[in-house]
Structure 1
Amino acid sequence: MSKDSLDIQVQSLPSGPGVYQFYDKNGKLLYVGKAKNLKKRVSSYFHKRHEYGKTRVMVRKVEEVRHVVVPTETDALLLENNLIKKYQPRYNVMLKDDKSYPWICIKNERFPRIFPTRKLIKDGSEYYGPYTSMKTIRTLLELIKGLYALRTCNYDLSEEKITSGKYKVCLEYHLGNCKGPCEGLQSLAEYDEQVAAIREIIKGNFKDSLKSFKEQMKSLAGEMRFEEAQKVKEKIEVLENYQVKSTVVNPKISNVDVFSIISDDKYAYVNFLQLSYGSIIRAHTIEIKKKLEEDDKELLELAIVELRNRFHSKSGEIFVPFPVDIGEDVKVTVPKLGDKKRIVELSERNAKFYRQDKLKQIRITDPDRHVSRIMEQMKKDLRLSREPKHIECFDNSNIQGTNPVAACVVFKDGKPSKKEYRHYNIKTVEGPDDYASMEEVVHRRYRRLLEEDASLPQLIVIDGGKGQLNAALKSLDRLGLRGKIAIIGIAKRLEEIFYPGDPVPMYLDKKSETLKIIQHLRNEAHRFGITFHRNKRGKAAINSELATIKGIGEKTSEELLREFKSLKRIKEASLHDLTEIIGPSKAQKVYEAFH
């Protein structure tokens, strides 16, 4: 289809809310999207340059645009979600979930059983959930079992069968876990009261049960039935302890869903919490692989609709970190302070922890993807033109102005490559001059790499501020490498990142992986340089002490050190041992000097 024909299709689109669909020349659905204004949104695809390559590729493939007009934005959001699930277009984000979630079932029968299940049967039974883990259900059911005596048998407890004496109580009755409704030892009214209280506990409301238990305890104590009153008191303590652990905000905050999103270049992580009476009754996080240039708002809206459908949420209000458009049926709140703000922050922490766990797993199971992600992140954070797979860092060491040395450490794919580390003795600089030393070392390093036709790094990191960075730049200029290798300086005090020609430093997020790698580089260069400097200074001190002995020169000192390893051992050596190394005449002089 010609470009003119496509333009006509776009121009004829209405300006109201709806869903648009892009098809290729074979009639295959490429993408489904929603819009407040169909004409404006679809036009933007064809009348602006897209930075992201996949978007450009998709737009080139579009041959036909279809649309569905809907009354409200809510309808557009739901229709978009349904079409994506049904047709799974190539360029849409997919929120796949094949998991069968567990529920708590209150069976539709006389003396209802309460149990976990993954199957929903339409027989009038009540289902609560779904829950994201069976562990949550087991914890809740253990609490309920400790508070109320419920039957676990699957007998048909009709009135006729109980009256006829068909059933006999089982071991559960004798253990005190059941009150024997099968023999008519517990009334249906009393049992139904228990079930009503359990419903409220499952919903997160502990108030009614606590009030009932406290009244029971007082009544039993008033009748001098202290053992029974003590058992009820223990139940109150169990319930209060569970309430304290599960209540995270003011109990007045009820029937609310909380959503947050954390994302990087390729993936987004959306956390969902459901609150009832201040307690979190449901928590779930999903990973979304980005397909095009989706922003956080777009992804969060899609995830909210999907998660509320998936978990059958009917909450009338949602808390989110920023405004979203999900229709008028739900109240959207962006909390600014207090308990509401804290619960959104808790949701964000959950999303971050989930992302960290995923990244740890990827590091083990898919190291190539881990390296690729780190390199891409560093390229973006440091504003580089290439991924810094090969980085070199330089540091000077001239403690107390003596024995000036320098170190060059090498990182490949974000990890130390220790076999490529190099030490340098400063040769052309007199006295402690950091700038001149840096200029010398950088020049020696890259002149040699050029002579050997070895691979050059994509990034050079200079341990120091603007002065050291400018000194290193002079060497790159002399070698004709300026512009071919990216170079930055990192100052120690506030971790400022300096760029050539830019007087204003850049500050990276203190928790960012990029800054951690830069800090690791800097610390490795410092450690490696200091170790070399200490060794050199130590040898110089030993040589100077031996050199004070008349008739003992530098060569003899080195022979002794090579054999005895330290000055202490030389002092402790016998005349015979010294004679074997440096001969009788010199051995006598050394021995007499230390004895």
Structure 2
Amino acid sequence: MDIKKKIKTLPLSPGVYLMKNKSGEIIYIGKAASLRKRVSSYFDGKRRQAPKKAPGAFCKTDVLVSSIADIDYFTTPSEEEALLLEAALIREKKPRYNVLLKDDKRYPLLKLTLNEEFPRLIIARRAKDDGAIYFGPYTNAKLLRKALGIMRKMFPLRTCKVIHKSACLNYHIKQCAGPCVDKKCRGLYKQVTGDLILFLSGKKKKLISKLTQRMNAASKSCDFEAAARLRDQLKALTSAVKERKQARIEAFDISNISGKEAVGSMVSFYNGKPDKSNYRKYRIKTVSGVDDYGMIKEVITRRYKKLVSENLPLPDLIVIDGGIGHVSAAAAVLDALGLNRINILGIAKKEERIFSRAGEERIGEEFRRLIQHARDEAHRFAQSYHHVLRRKKVIGE
């Protein structure tokens, strides 16, 4: 597999990259504001050139790069989220080239003071054996401070060093559960602390499931204030967990006149925007006559057999210009390739109805516009290629 070719397919969005050696072992984990640009920089000799006064300063990076055989990644909604995910993955995987961060005072940690009756979440420079839990280290102190501010809104733990006798501003703006006001809130405070630990440990889906259960229980017991609080927390968490508008979408269309000069197109979108460097066009080879379903099957087969054989990243979503029949044709190919985990949506012409494997779907207006944009771009690209072939045929005659 050509690693540099794979790098060109990485999204431009924030995220975390995982570098692996030939054995599949994760050897380094890092975060990026733009995954493609950051990972590309490792293979740019000029950018890594050591200063004259410090010969050999980049030796470690050179050794790392020479060991890279594959790259995996996760996209995130923001750099702050990437920073938190990076630390959680380093803590879990313990890659050999990240080990030096562990005891380096330059990199800050997050400290949850479980040694206090009502724990606080603060930034620390070194882990101590004091009964607290430490998360990190984090490679960017500025981003960490921003992330801490976001987390304090989502998990209202106290920030004051000493518990006061009266409520502070944070309590009134709902950024603190207020143990100083009501000691009876200990159960709730303990719950919020546990939720924060799940969040910082990277177990966000498990946390969302727990919060959903609590919200439903509060609603059934008519505790509407608690239900509303949990609803708001869920909304913030869901926003933090989900990737940007389907990080990678690939849309397909077929163009022909009565089966002649039949072609297929594939357009690629990253984070809601066309990525023209990854557009592909296909001249239909195995199907004759008017057979849209057969042509869709051929193009989908050629596209994803190639990605699988070269171990290249797969899309999060496939969009087909067509209805339930076109979706079923594409799904049959993906199932045969063992790729049934990839979502498929078809968008039928005229009525603009959306179909998935399960049937007709209702989706949000913003997402609908994105799907329509991808479909229209695939249609335009297929038509353009079809017209080129027709002109060549006419000239040849």
TM superposition score normalised by structure 1: 0.29
TM-score, normalising length: structure 2? 0.43
**Which of structures 1 and 2 has the larger relative contact order (alpha carbons within 8 angstroms, sep 6+)?**
2
Higher-Rg structure is 1
